[in-house]
Amino acid sequence: GFSLNNGIGDLYERITALPADKQAEIKADIEAVYAVRPQLAMVNSDKGITNLHVPSDVIVDASMPAMIRDSGKMWGTDGQLHDAKAVIPDRCYATIYQAVIEDCKKNGAFDPTTMGSVPNVGLMAQKAEEYGSHDKTFHIQTNGVVRVTDSQGNLLMEQNVEAGDIWRMCQAKDAPIQDWVKLAVNRARASNTPAIFWLDSSRAHDSVMIEKVRRYLGDHDTSGLDIQILSPVDAMKLTLERTRAGKDTISVTG
């Protein structure tokens, strides 16, 4: 049967097996809902594909920059650009894009011919962070508590959950973190470019990462280098300021 987790495109695909009159009836019901609900941004206006058709058709780090480049607009059912509202259920992504939007409102569009670049050093090795989260992602069936323990049964963390929640855990091994810090230092040295670690001391995960970053920076010669640790919002604001001035800035994210 149809699974809403696969997007409404799954429903459209499944009803093709039904008689034409039944297909028309179901499609009419869907269109009636669209008519009274807020308009949906379209992935493909010509084919009637909304951003709810397939879960992966709208990806925050691809779709948000595109929307911002188009002055906060996305495509509507009429094939025209319209003002759009983005709902991002994540404290980090939501705040950094809000900072970009506010900057563009104040300073206007970026000029590709004069703006600086932002090379990235990401923490990905050995399935670090979200790159190894697939087997640690669960669709919670009942209200309760998720507990994470070590091999001896000691509690590492716990979180209250409700039925229908999507719960995901990430992890990063120490060796990749050390290598990540080394790569950031090497990149800053080789290109003579300031580097910013995007980490928020008020977040439990990031506070641990900050401790490790500071420890492993001590293993390298950082003399003469401009290396900072800033919250994602502050890192974004400083990077935007430098980018508009035509200066390059290395983003170190994990």
CATH number, domain at 197? 3.40.1010
Q: What is the pLDDT of residue 129?
A: 84
What is the C-alpha to C-alpha distance for residues 129 and 169, in angstroms, rounded to an integer? 8
Q: What is the pLDDT of residue 51?
A: 86
Quickly list DSSP for 89-155. Answer: --HHHHHHHHHHHHHHHHH----TTT-----EEE--GGG-BGGG-GGGEEE--SSEEEEEE-TT--E
Q: Give the closest residue to 187 by CA, choosing from 123, 249, 254.
A: 249
Q: What is the pLDDT of residue 150?
A: 86
Stated pTM of the model: 0.85
Instruction: Please tell me whether residues 190 and 239 are part of one structural domain.
Output: yes
| Structural domains in the chain (count) | 3
Instruction: Please tell me whether residues 163 and 182 are part of one structural domain.
Output: no
Instruction: Please tell me whether residues 8 and 91 are part of one structural domain.
Output: yes
Instruction: Please tell me whether residues 144 and 178 are part of one structural domain.
Output: no
Q: What is the pLDDT of residue 62?
A: 87
Q: Give the closest residue to 241 by CA, choosing from 118, 120, 119, 121.
A: 118
Instruction: Please tell me whether residues 95 and 160 are part of one structural domain.
Output: no
Assigned token pair, 18: 């039904």
Task: Tell me the average pLDDT across 90-104.
Answer: 92
Instruction: Please tell me whether residues 229 and 149 are part of one structural domain.
Output: no
Does residue 186 belong to any structural domain of this protein?
yes
The count of residues in the chain is 254
What is the C-alpha to C-alpha distance for residues 182 and 228, in angstroms, rounded to an integer? 14
Instruction: Please tell me whether residues 91 and 13 are part of one structural domain.
Output: yes
Q: Are strands 42-44 and 49-50 parallel, antiparallel or unpaired?
A: antiparallel
Which region among 150-154, 183-187, 248-252 has the lowest average model confidence (pLDDT)? 150-154
Quickly list DSSP for 186-237. Answer: HHHHHHT--EEEE--TTSHHHHHHHHHHHHHHTTS--TT--EEEE-HHHHHH
What is the C-alpha to C-alpha distance for residues 84 and 99, in angstroms, rounded to an integer? 17
Does residue 114 belong to any structural domain of this protein?
no
Instruction: Please tell me whether residues 11 and 65 are part of one structural domain.
Output: yes
Is pLDDT of 123 > 80? yes
Instruction: Please tell me whether residues 102 and 152 are part of one structural domain.
Output: no
Does residue 113 belong to any structural domain of this protein?
no
Does residue 11 belong to any structural domain of this protein?
yes
Instruction: Please tell me whether residues 94 and 178 are part of one structural domain.
Output: no
Does residue 200 belong to any structural domain of this protein?
yes
pLDDT tier, 100 (very low <50, low <70, confident <90, very high otherwise): very high
Instruction: Please tell me whether residues 22 and 87 are part of one structural domain.
Output: yes
Percent of the chain with pLDDT over 90: 70
Does residue 179 belong to any structural domain of this protein?
yes
Containing structural domain, residue 148 = 137-168
